[in-house]
């Protein structure tokens, strides 16, 4: 299907169908005297403005929107040089804004060995990694093999796991390290442990764990910051080869991002190599997304926020590129802080107010009671409060990983301190994930202008909610797991972030789960039905979470996130009217075209 593209003379009468919204047209101040480069009409146009208007026509000039309203009113912006795009009944809407992802890692996973998030047995994992070893044909035994996409919580049968002894069954002398899909777990073979010099005497770093067996020997499992202590020993590639690899990975990433209809992102743990790769793409004219980047700093750095500020300013001075309608920018203006880990077993490193439960009975006759594990809070409230005030004073935003209810509660306490000491602060603090909540904290988000950045696709019955969370939380607390709807009930501004590549990049599947709280792929009865008692979200709230709310979290809501006069023409055409699509069919949505500043940056192969 191809959209009709035509030239119309200004004198041609444009016949208007029944107006979708009466009296809703708006044009720039010079709208009566200027003409458009392109006008879109012939299908519903979601503005996602303050009243969620749906209009008939939209006009752009020089990459910006100059008119929004009825076909009849926007006809005056058309002359013989104007391109008129007939949407043929398809929907035009703002480009999506993904406020939490890891694009370099996502691109790398598309380019390298991956277990593809599949629920695998030990033998299947060994077979897949063995195939990667053979396909790579790497002759250097010191060259480490990196593997991604290990869905640790879904290994089969239930309770199966990996360790160094298991990976040693892969026929190679090369060091191997395998990232869990949650990026909070990593497992290595013995060759990697030896190459890194990690043994029984190696202590766990702050904010992480090197797992050891009963004899004190490392098992090969690394959690949170311990993962980076391990990967620090991976020999770097030659500089030119490393830069080319990064560029290839980032190019793969931005292509995947554009294909999903995403036009603005936050990289939620950016390294300088990541920023440099974005900068190279921009120099080559191949950057097709507006990139905001949040360098990550370990807990030990937060005692000296001045050094963090200096480092972020240095990156900003070197790489920042201004956003214009026609030129996607690069903005290093946010600090990323990890407050805790993850709630899922077996890691259970997320900080909890009450302890995780554990089974003191048997698998056939379980008896769940309090354990002595509350997870771990990586940053104290006082340290976070002081750092947040310093970041606010410096004009930087803060993006915090807060998985457990104690991490969320502590971050909100620090925001109260910020509000008391910096009442004029313009900080738009983001709390990412918020997988478990205490009931009284929902309302505090609105009071403190805090933004929950939620990965909606997690809010369904699956291995990572049922098998590895439910029993460890207990029935009452489980009702506060993955609860976007309870935020909405308190009028909290909800933001979406995919966390790619923790999951495969699929914005439309996440959108469906936000509506249904169901697992469309469920075959086992325990994964069927809705997750918990959360009401879920309505379609307008979901659309705003993916667009204007996410733009607000990045201080970009004056430029993107809605289709309004004066904003950049970052838009997508999709194959259906989501306002009239059954909730369980939203995941089938296809992006047909993606525009950045009015420039087409993606077209579906079927077009």
Residue 584's domain spans which residues?
Answer: 4-93+567-603
Does a structural domain hold residue 261? no
Query: Measured between alpha carbons, how far is 213 from 219 in angstroms, rounded to an integer?
Result: 6
Same domain? For 226 and 120 the reply is yes
What CATH number does residue 213 fall under? 3.10.310.70
DSSP 588: G
Picking from 215, 231, 247, the residue at the C-terminal end of a domain is 231
Q: Do 20 and 126 belong together in one domain?
A: no
Domain endpoint, select from 207, 231, 255: 231
- Note whether 328 and 354 are within 8 A (CB): no
Q: Are residues 184 and 117 in the same domain?
A: yes
Domain for residue 453, yes or no? no
Q: Given 231, 264, 288, which residue is the final one in a domain?
A: 231
User: What is the dihedral sign for C-alpha 211, 215, 217, 219?
Assistant: negative
Which pLDDT belongs to residue 3?
A: 57
User: pLDDT for 488-523, tens place per residue?
Assistant: 999 999 999 999 999 999 999 999 999 999 998 888
Q: What does residue 361 show for φ and ψ, rounded to 5 degrees? A: -100, -135
pTM: 0.90
Q: Could you tell me the CA-to-CA distances from 280 to 243, 244, 276 in Å, in that order? A: 10, 10, 6
Is residue 227 domain-shared with residue 108, that is, in the same domain? yes
Q: Distance (Å, rounded) from C-alpha 285 to C-alpha 540?
A: 35
Contact status, residue 526 vs residue 479, Cβ threshold 8 Å: no
Where would I find the H helices in 320-404? Answer: 381-394
Considering the domain architecture, whether residues 65 and 109 belong to the same structural domain is answered as no
**DSSP string covering 500-540:** TTSS---HHHHHHHHHH-B-TT--SGGG-SBSTT-----HH
3-state secondary structure 229-297: HHHCCCCCCCHHHHHHHHHHHHHHHHHHHHHCCEEEEEEEEECHHHHHHHHHHHHCCCCCCEEEEEEEE
Q: What is the C-alpha separation between 305 and 101, in angstroms, rounded? A: 24
Domain contains 197: yes
> Is 198 in the same domain as 179?
yes
DSSP 8-state secondary structure symbol assigned to residue 43: E
Query: Which stretches in the chain have pLDDT values below 50?
Result: 1, 6-23, 29-32
Q: Is residue 541, in this structure, part of any structural domain at all?
A: no
What pLDDT does residue 33 have?
66
Q: Are residues 86 and 178 in the same domain?
A: no
As a dihedral over the C-alpha atoms of residue 439, residue 441, residue 442, residue 447, rounded to 10 degrees, the angle is 150
Residue 542: its pLDDT value, please?
Answer: 98
Same domain, 167 and 144: yes
In a shared domain, residues 215 and 126: yes
Same domain, 88 and 108: no
pLDDT at 24: 53
572: domain CATH number is: 2.30.40.10
- The closest of 17, 69, 2 to 39, measured between CA atoms, is 69
Q: CA 486 to CA 424: how far, in whole Å?
A: 29
| Total domains, the chain | 2
Is residue 71 in some structural domain?
A: yes
112 with 47, same domain: the answer is no
Residue 88 domain-assigned (yes or no): yes
CA angle 296, 114, 289 (to 5 degrees): 50
Q: Is residue 378 part of a domain?
A: no
pLDDT of amino acid 372: 97
Is there a domain that residue 245 lies in? no
Same domain, 68 and 128: no
- Tokens matching residue 287: 């950057």
What is the residue whose two structure tokens read 């976007």? 484
Half-sphere exposure of 339 (CA within 13 A, CB side): 34
pLDDT at 22: 34
């Amino acid at each position: 299907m191809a959209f009709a593209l035509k030239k119309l003379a200004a004198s041609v009468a444009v016949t208007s169908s029944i107006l979708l919204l009466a009296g809703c047209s708006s044009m720039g101040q010079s709208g009566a005297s200027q003409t458009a480069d392109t006008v879109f009409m012939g299908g519903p146009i979601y503005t996602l403005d303050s009243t969620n208007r749906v209009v008939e026509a939209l006009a752009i000039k020089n990459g910006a929107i100059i008119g929004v309203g009825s076909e009849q009113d926007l006809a005056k912006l058309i002359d013989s040089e104007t391109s008129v795009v007939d949407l043929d009944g398809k929907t035009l809407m703002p480009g999506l804004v993904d406020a939490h992802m890891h694009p370099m890692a996502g691109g790398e996973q598309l380019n390298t060995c991956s277990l593809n998030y599949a629920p695998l047995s030990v033998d299947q994992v060994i077979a897949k990694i063995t195939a990667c070893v053979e396909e790579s044909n790497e002759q250097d035994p010191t060259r480490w093999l990196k593997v991604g996409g290990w869905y640790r919580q879904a290994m089969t049968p239930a309770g199966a796991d990996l360790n160094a002894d298991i990976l040693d069954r892969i026929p190679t002398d090369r060091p191997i390290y395998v990232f869990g899909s949650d990026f909070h777990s990593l497992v290595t073979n013995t060759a990697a442990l030896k190459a890194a010099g990690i043994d029984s005497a190696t202590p766990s770093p702050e904010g992480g764990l090197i797992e050891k067996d009963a004899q004190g020997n490392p098992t090969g499992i690394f959690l949170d910051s311990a993962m980076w202590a391990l990967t620090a020993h991976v020999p770097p590639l030659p500089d030119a080869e490393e830069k080319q690899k990064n560029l290839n990975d980032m190019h793969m990433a931005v292509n995947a991002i554009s294909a999903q209809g995403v036009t603005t992102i936050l990289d939620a743990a950016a390294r300088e190599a990541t920023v440099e790769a974005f900068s190279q793409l921009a120099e080559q004219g191949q950057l097709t997304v507006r990139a905001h980047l949040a360098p990550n700093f370990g807990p030990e750095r937060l005692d000296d926020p001045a050094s963090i500020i200096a480092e972020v300013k240095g990156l900003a001075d070197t790489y920042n590129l201004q956003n214009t309608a026609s030129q996607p920018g690069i903005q290093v203006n946010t600090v990323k802080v990890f407050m805790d880990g993850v709630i899922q077993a077996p890691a259970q490193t997320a900080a909890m107010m009450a302890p995780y439960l554990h089974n003191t009975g048997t698998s056939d006759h379980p008896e769940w009671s309090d354990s002595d594990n509350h997870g771990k809070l990586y940053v104290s409230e006082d340290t976070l409060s002081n750092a947040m005030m310093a970041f606010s004073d410096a004009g930087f935003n803060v993006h915090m990983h807060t998985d457990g209810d104690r991490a969320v509660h502590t971050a909100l306490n620090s925001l109260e301190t910020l509000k008391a000491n910096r009442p004029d602060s313009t900080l738009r603090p983001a709390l990412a994930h918020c997988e478990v909540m205490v009931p009284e904290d929902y309302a505090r988000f609105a009071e403190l202008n805090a933004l929950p950045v939620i990965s909606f696709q997690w809010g369904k019955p699956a291995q990572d909610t049922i098998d590895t969370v439910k029993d460890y939380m207990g029935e009452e607390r489980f009702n506060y797991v993955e609860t976007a709807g309870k935020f909405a009930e308190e009028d909290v501004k909800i933001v979406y972030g995919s966390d790619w590549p923790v999951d495969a990049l699929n914005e439309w599947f996440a959108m469906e789960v936000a509506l249904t709280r169901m697992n469309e792929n469920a075959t086992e009865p325990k994964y069927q039905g809705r997750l918990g008692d959360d009401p879920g979200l309505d379609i307008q709230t979901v659309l705003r979470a993916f667009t204007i709310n996410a733009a607000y979290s990045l201080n970009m809501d004056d430029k993107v996130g809605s289709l309004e006069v004066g904003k950049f023409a970052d838009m997508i055409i999709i194959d259906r009217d989501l306002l009239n699509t059954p909730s369980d069919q939203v995941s089938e949505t296809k992006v047909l075209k993606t525009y950045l500043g009015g420039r087409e940056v993606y077209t579906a192969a079927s077009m």
